[in-house]
Structures are given as structure tokens and as C-alpha cells.
Amino acid sequence: MLNAAILSKPGSRRAAAAAAGVFALACAVYLLWLPDVAALKKKNPAQTSYMLIKERQAAAKGKKLGRNMVWTGWDGISPNLKHAVLVAEDGAFYRHHGVEWNSTWEAVKTDFKTLRLARGGSTITQQVARNLYLSPSKNPLRKIKEVLIAYRLERTLGKRRIFEIYLNIAEWGKGIYGAQAASRVYFGKSAADLTPEEAAALAAVLPSPRRYSPVKGTRFMQRRKSQIVGRMRASGYLPEEAEAADLDASVDEVIASTAPAVPAAEAAASD
């Protein structure tokens, strides 16, 4: 009742209206300021907003978070990894214009039902926009800005460059960024030489790279990797003459074939 009485006064109403106007203006400025992405046509990003945020978080705890990132061009990344990431993260990547609205709508409905902003629904392009320029926040304004930047990336860079950037800035463990660093840490080889099973294992951890490791044979990892290999096969990304037994190799077999790299990988991937 007191608040209502206060707001009923002309001065209070004007103050409230002014505050609302300032807030609306601040929101508009936030949304209208968009980064110039044209430089990304030729210049590879050396760091991302996500990297800096995680490093600041570690510093606040008195820790130093290393950064393992080795940029590798499009031709230096195995088609197996490109295909595995596509089917795992964004099967409609080459068909949408930065946002996959069906997935976004499903995410919104799930968030509404659970009364919390939890579900993702982001395309590869949106993930590039968020990683490069924004934060992990679930703030609706941040999500709108992510969409706007994604559209700008699509218009300016094109699909191949966006995907190349994604494969080089995606987090694959604590302080591990990009396909080349992940391939060397977990499998002791170049990103160009990844097998379908290794590629599927890397793609399997992308939603939670600090929670899961490509070289730990958990039940979730085995199931997730099998699903991705199955999608790769169904999408025609695996050769028809390939032996089914080879394509269905378990994560334990992958670990056995790359035993020297496992201890360092597990240490790097642990929180």
C-alpha cells in the first residue's frame, strides 16, 4: 500500500517513468552495439570473450588458467571431425541463416515450462557469436544480441569461415581450445589425422567439455559416441566399404591405441 501511495504522487510517477526510460535506452544501446566482424575474413582471433572470462574467474580464485590453442586452417582439420561436429551440434548448419528457429522455439518452450533459462538451442554460428563477443549468461538480452551477431557473421563471413573459426575456438577441456590442441592432448596426433571414432569422441563432449573427457570410457561417452557415429553413417559421411566393427570401436579401444596421451589429457580435462 505504501509503494502504491508513493507512486501515486506526480513526482514519483515521473521518476519511475524516467528510470524506465533510462533502462529502455540502456537496453537499446546494448542491443544496437554490434562488433565489426569484417576483420575475421582474414584475421584469425587470438582469443575470445569466453577465454578471458574463464581466465578471470580462475585468477579470482588465485589460480592461473593456461591456454592451449593452436590455430589450424580448414584443410588441416580432418573431414571426420567436421562431419562429427555437424551431426552432433548443428545438423542444419548449411541450411539455416545463423539461427535454427525450430530448435530455438523448442528451447524457449522448455525454459518456460521449467521457469528457468537453461536449455541451449544454439547453432554453430550462434556459438561462435557468443564465444567471441559475449558471455555464458542466460540473460534474454544477451540471447537477442547473440542472434543479431550471428546474422551479421553469416552475411559477412559465410559458412566455411564460420565453421573454421568454431573448430578453432571451441573449448575441449580445461584450457584446451580448438581441434588441433584437443587432438594433440587427447590422441597425440594432428587434427588432420583423426579417425571417425576419435572425431566422434571429441564431438561428444562439446556440450560439457569440462564435465566429460573424450578418452574416459564412461557409459554416457560410449552411448553418445555411438549415436554420433550412427548419425555420420546415416548422413553419408562414412564410406560404405568401412567395416562396421571398426566404426563401432569403443572409447576403451581408442584409449588403448593412444595410451601415452591419456594421462595428460585426463589431467587437463579435470576441473
Per-residue burial over 99-137, b if 16 or more Cβ lie within 10 Å, else e, is bbeebbeebbeebeeeeebebebbbbbbbbbbbbbbeee
- The owner of cell 593412444 is 258
CATH assignment of 47-269?
Answer: 1.10.3810.10
- The owner of cell 563401432 is 248
Runs of H (alpha helix) within the chain: 2-7, 10-32, 49-60, 79-89, 101-114, 124-133, 140-156, 159-169, 179-187, 196-204, 219-234, 244-247, 251-257, 262-269
pLDDT for the residue 47: 95
Separation of alpha carbons 132 and 152, rounded Å: 13
pLDDT for the residue 258: 38
Separation of alpha carbons 156 and 172, rounded Å: 27
Is residue 245 within 8 Å of 254, Cβ to Cβ? Answer: no
pLDDT for the residue 67: 94
Separation of alpha carbons 66 and 38, rounded Å: 29
Across the chain, mean pLDDT equals 80
Is the entire prediction scored with pTM above 0.85?
Answer: no
Taking only the tens place, the pLDDT of each residue in 123-165 is: 999 999 999 999 888 788 888 899 999 999 999 999 999 999 9
pLDDT for the residue 21: 56
List 176's β-bridge partners, or say none. 68
pLDDT for the residue 227: 94
**3-class SS of residue 241:** coil
**3-class SS of residue 197:** helix
pLDDT for the residue 24: 55
Grid cell digits, residue 6 = 508513493
Which stretches in the chain have pLDDT values below 50?
Answer: 1-2, 6, 23, 26, 29-30, 115, 117-119, 241, 243, 245, 248-271
- Count other C-beta atoms under 10 Å from residue 79's C-beta: 13
pLDDT for the residue 8: 56
Helix (H), strand (E), coil (C) string for 55-124 = HHHHHHCCCCCCCEECCCCHHHCCHHHHHHHHHHHCCCCCCCCCCCHHHHHHHHHHHHHHCCCCCCCCCH
